[in-house]
Amino acid sequence: MTAGMTTGAAPGTPPGPGPLWGAQPVLVWTAAAGMVLLALGCVTGRADVVLVAVPAVLGAARAFGTRPRGGLDVSTRPAAEPPGQNGGQEPGGSVLAAVVRVAPPAEVPAGIPVTARLRISRPGHQPAEVLVDATRPRELPVDARSVRTGRQPLYRVEHQGVGQGVAGPVGRVAPAQVLVVPRARRLADDLPMPVTLRGLTGQHAARRPGSGGDLRDVHPFSPGDSPRQVDWKVTARRSPQLDELWIRRTTSLGEAVVAVVVDSRDDVGPDPTTWSGVRAVRADDATSLDLAREAAATLAEAYLGGGDRVGIEDLGVRRHAVRTGTGRRQLDRVLHLLAGLQPEGEPPERVRPPRLAAGAFVYVVSTFLDPEAAVIASTWRRAGHGVVAVDVLPRLATAGLDARHALALRLVLLQRDDLLADLAGAGVEVVRWTDEAGSAAHLRLIARQSRRRPGTPAGALR
């Protein structure tokens, strides 16, 4: 877990004197059974019956007479150092770690053991129910594995102090929140580039003449050129009389501007029966927004690592997300913004696409379950931007769908396939992110195509 931010530990039940713990029906019946046997044994003069009843009566009387007062003092907080390697980030997902502190009630008779009955739960996980000794304050480490990213609730704790046939009041501790930052995949250095690079510095060779890049051409010396650029061998070959000097011109360097546009309006899981929002998505199922965060984080980290400028746009909200920038701090800004993305109500329909920097290369990360993202991607492609559509719909778990769900899903997927086909027809490359190897290979192919010079046959790429 890369828990960058928390909203603080959840408050526990305030300690202090409270009501005496109540007797459970089992204790009342135990006392009654013991009394009856004791009375019958005395009346009939049967000491063996009396002896059978003695532990029941004594145990019930002691449990009743030494009842604690008040509720347990329980609180939770995120663990400072989550278990596992790599700060809680493991191959099977992140580890959401927390600490549950349990303390006995304020008033407990000496020598009386206190047991805490805890039910620790979080959405998408199987809850843990434990009976633990709470005679003294103690801290219990709690963890669960999850592939979900973004703002995640930690653990809700329902607690009750119990004794031998007695029980205290029930308390509840609201879950704290943590922000789980998405983890980036490893991509090859070969990334798609825009047609035009920006600036005079950067890591990529531009097409215009300048300094720092590879050889561009040889050109007659003209005013403004440096004498150091004179190529004497070429000059001797082309102008033996030295009436003209020839220089080597190099290309300039530049940086790419990349816009990653994330569609945060959808957050659907692999199970289509959860799309209505009635059933919770399992914690080991990544939703489309988890995949979108991962894809955007991967692309941002790869481009920023290459010295390029990256900005983030969100189709779900009507505000500028993160303007283009470079460097490590820009990556931190991008990751923090991605972790905070979530569907926010019903956004109004866009009249025009978000404004992008001139010549920016665009990634549209969406499920494409509705036409808005596809329409915007086509608009940008027509405007001359290089556009890649990253499809983040999870692999669907269709086993067990009833006929109505299956028919509804079939219609939705047919409509979506039409949208993706229209995108491909408009010149937008569609990359399916759930296919890890396939998406990497597809991006490499797009990268090679983006570097193709005019006039090079397309077949030469393969």
Partner 1 sequence: MTGPALPRPGLPWPGRVRRALDRPPPVRVGALVTLPGAAVRTAPAVALLACAALAGVPGGSLGPPALLAAAALAVARPALPVAPVAAAVLGLGVLAGPDLLGTAEQPGAPWRLAGLVLAVDVLLRTAALAAQTAWRGRVERAVLRGTARAAAGSQALAQVLLVIAVRLRAGGGGDTVTAGSLRVPALAAVTVLLLLAVPAAWRTRHRRPDPPSPHERP
Site for partner 1 in 340-399 (CB under 8 A): 393, 395-396, 398-399
Under the binding rule (CB under 8 A), the answer on residue 145 touching partner 1 is: yes
Residue in 7, 14, 17, 26 binding partner 1, rule: CB under 8 A: 26
Under the binding rule (CB under 8 A), the answer on residue 238 touching partner 1 is: no
Residue in 91, 345, 400, 457 binding partner 1, rule: CB under 8 A: 400
Under the binding rule (CB under 8 A), the answer on residue 410 touching partner 1 is: yes
Q: Which of residues 59-88 bind partner 1 (CB under 8 A)?
A: 59-64, 83
Residue in 84, 101, 143, 248 binding partner 1, rule: CB under 8 A: 143
User: Would you say 301 and 183 are in contact if contact means Cβ atoms under 8 Å apart?
Assistant: no
Q: How far is the CB of 458 from partner 1 (least distance, A)?
A: 18
Under the binding rule (CB under 8 A), the answer on residue 437 touching partner 1 is: no
- Hey, is 316 helix, strand or coil? coil
* Nearest partner of 254 among 221, 214, 205, 188, judged by Cα: 205
Q: How far is the CB of 60 from partner 1 (least distance, A)?
A: 7
Residue in 358, 421, 441, 461 binding partner 1, rule: CB under 8 A: 421
Under the binding rule (CB under 8 A), the answer on residue 1 touching partner 1 is: no
Under the binding rule (CB under 8 A), the answer on residue 140 touching partner 1 is: yes
**Distance between CA atoms of 382 and 423, rounded to whole angstroms?**
11
**Distance between CA atoms of 257 and 33, rounded to whole angstroms?**
82
- Residue whose structure tokens are 């828990």: 3
Encoded one letter per residue, x for contact with partner 1 by CB under 8 A and - for no contact, window 259-288 reads: -----------------------xxx----
CA 130 to each of CA 76, 117, 283, 407: distance values in angstroms, whole numbers, following the listed order? 16, 6, 21, 43
Under the binding rule (CB under 8 A), the answer on residue 158 touching partner 1 is: no
Q: How many CB atoms lie within 10 A of CB 92?
A: 10
Q: How far is the CB of 120 from partner 1 (least distance, A)?
A: 5
Closest to partner 1 by CB, 254 vs 394, is 394
Under the binding rule (CB under 8 A), the answer on residue 142 touching partner 1 is: yes
Under the binding rule (CB under 8 A), the answer on residue 188 touching partner 1 is: no
**Which range, of 11-19, 57-65, 252-260, 316-324, touches partner 1 by CB under 8 A?**
57-65
Positive or negative, the CA dihedral 189, 194, 196, 202 is: negative
Under the binding rule (CB under 8 A), the answer on residue 291 touching partner 1 is: no
**Distance between CA atoms of 214 and 227, rounded to whole angstroms?**
18
Residue in 11, 17, 32, 383 binding partner 1, rule: CB under 8 A: 32
Query: How remote is the C-alpha of 238 from its chain's centroid?
Result: 63
Residue in 5, 11, 14, 42 binding partner 1, rule: CB under 8 A: 42
- Hey, is 236 helix, strand or coil? helix
Residue in 1, 27, 297, 360 binding partner 1, rule: CB under 8 A: 27
User: Would you say 166 and 23 are in contact if contact means Cβ atoms under 8 Å apart?
Assistant: yes
Angle at CA 258, nearest 5°, toward 264 and 329?
Answer: 80
Q: Which residues of 325-359 are buried (b: 16+ CB within 10 A; e: fewer)?
A: ebeeebbebbbebbbbbeeeeeeeeeeebbebbeb
Residue in 10, 68, 117, 262 binding partner 1, rule: CB under 8 A: 117
